[in-house]
Amino acid sequence: MFKDKTVAVVVPAYNEESQIGLVIEAMPDFVDRIIVVNDFSTDKTLDVVKKYISKDNSSKVEIKNNSFKPEKSLYNEAEIVLKEYQIKDFKKFIPSEILNGTGENDRIILINHLKNGGVGSAIASGYKWCLDHNIYCTAVMAGDGQMDPAELASIIRPVIEENIDYVKGNRLIHRSAWLVVPKIRYFGNSILSILTKIASGYWKVSDTQCGYTAISIKALKSVRLYDIYKRYGMPNDFLVKLNIAYCTIREVEIKPVYRIGESSKMKIYSVIPKMMLLLFKLFFKRLWIKYLFRDFHPLFLLYNFSFIMGVISVPYFIKIIKAFIYGINMNFEPLLAFIFLFTSSFQSLLFAMWMDIQDNERLYK
């Protein structure tokens, strides 16, 4: 426990037989449960974790499953409905099994996916276990050993001591980042961070692809865990979900760790186009859910007015370009129309973004 609060670490693992032992062995003593989620590995990851479970003799804090429905009373119908929904949610996760007895009494909990679902689905399964067992603070550390366990305390401390909903590491602000992080990854991460700022509403975050995080039980309850993006876009998708739920966030400086064990499985050139499309969709999802359906805000109108004016200006822009290229004489009406529409669009976009930044300032602690 940490400050008398239960702590668990979710470790998503796919083909990490050479590294998963390092992660387990280096886990700090204050971690009550290590939730290893084997995402249908094709190597010996499963066998390695089982060996660690069989020889683990560390003292453990008793943690009970609280996923059962409470007894009905006059005033707790809402709690009962939520609990029933939480129980039914299990069918929407990747099919899995807990391979060490009840999965409650061992310090190392092994959740085995019956099919490959991606890193996001593995984290979701781990989060689900922690939610069902009312873990106060749940962190995530990758199974490849590229996250320093010595920094875990700084990641979870804001959640436990200051009631921050979500804390994430930031490698890009570390003084060694430009020297250690591969340049293509540094550039790709920076681009995705800019796009994620706009999509998520957390305008001050950077290094959005960093998976070293901690989350409170309150924040876990506010998100549909089964709906988390299944693969490498999970951190970006999750930030949008947290913002819609008005969750507070903080970033903590951590050191970049590379060249430990095998290289990353992520292919940057194939991931970025998919991520850009995902972030485009997530932006509009946040805009409509947060600023129209849940609580109307004028920035909803300004954003949409900007987009409409921008689209209407495109035909005039094309007409002007054609006239310039082919030397066609053209009156001033298309030019004036384009200037008016584009200026209106650009000004509305700036005002909307400014309002967006101001509204979300309260969530960044």
Where does a domain end: 248, 265, 293?
293
Domain identity same for 269 and 165: yes
Q: Which pLDDT score is estimated for 95?
A: 93
Q: In the structure, what pLDDT confidence band is assigned to residue 81 with cuts at 50, 70 and 90?
A: confident
Residue 254 lies inside a defined structural domain of this protein? yes
Domain identity same for 120 and 199: yes
Domain identity same for 203 and 350: no
Q: Which pLDDT score is estimated for 134?
A: 92
Domain identity same for 92 and 141: yes
Cα 41 to Cα 38, 47, 115, 165, 175, distances in angstroms: 6, 10, 9, 31, 36
Tokens of 185: 């990854």
Tell me the DSSP string of 172-216: TTSTTHHHHS-HHHHHHHHHHHHHHHHHHS-TT---TT---EEEE
For the chain, give the mean pLDDT: 90
Tokens of 40: 């249908």
Q: Which pLDDT score is estimated for 117?
A: 94
DSSP letter assigned to residue 2: B
Residue 2 lies inside a defined structural domain of this protein? no
Residue 185 has pLDDT above 90, yes or no: no
Tokens of 25: 């062995």
- The owner of tokens 């692809």 is 209
Domain identity same for 121 and 266: yes
pTM: 0.91
Domain identity same for 325 and 284: no
Of the two residues 60 and 99, the one the predictor is more confident about is 99
Q: Which pLDDT score is estimated for 232?
A: 84
The string of pLDDT tens digits covering residues 286-325 is: 999 999 999 999 999 999 999 999 999 999 999 999 888 8
Domain identity same for 349 and 233: no
Q: Where are the alpha helices (DSSP H) in the chain?
A: 20-25, 45-54, 77-88, 119-132, 152-162, 177-180, 183-200, 217-221, 234-244, 268-288, 298-326, 333-360
- Domain encompassing residue 322: 297-363
Number of domains in the chain: 2
Domain identity same for 62 and 188: yes
The string of pLDDT tens digits covering residues 24-60 is: 999 999 999 999 999 999 999 999 999 999 888 776 7
Domain identity same for 199 and 341: no
Q: Average of pLDDT values for 220-230?
A: 93
Buried b (16+ CB within 10 A) or exposed e, 246-272: ebbbbbbebebbeeeeeeeeeebeebb
Domain identity same for 157 and 303: no
Residue 1 lies inside a defined structural domain of this protein? no
Residue 12 has pLDDT above 70, yes or no: yes
Sign of torsion over alpha carbons 147, 148, 154, 156: positive
Q: Which pLDDT score is estimated for 231?
A: 86
CATH number at residue 150: 3.90.550.10
Residue 263 has pLDDT above 70, yes or no: no
CB-based contact 303:313 (threshold 8 Å): no
Domain identity same for 140 and 42: yes
Domain identity same for 67 and 144: yes
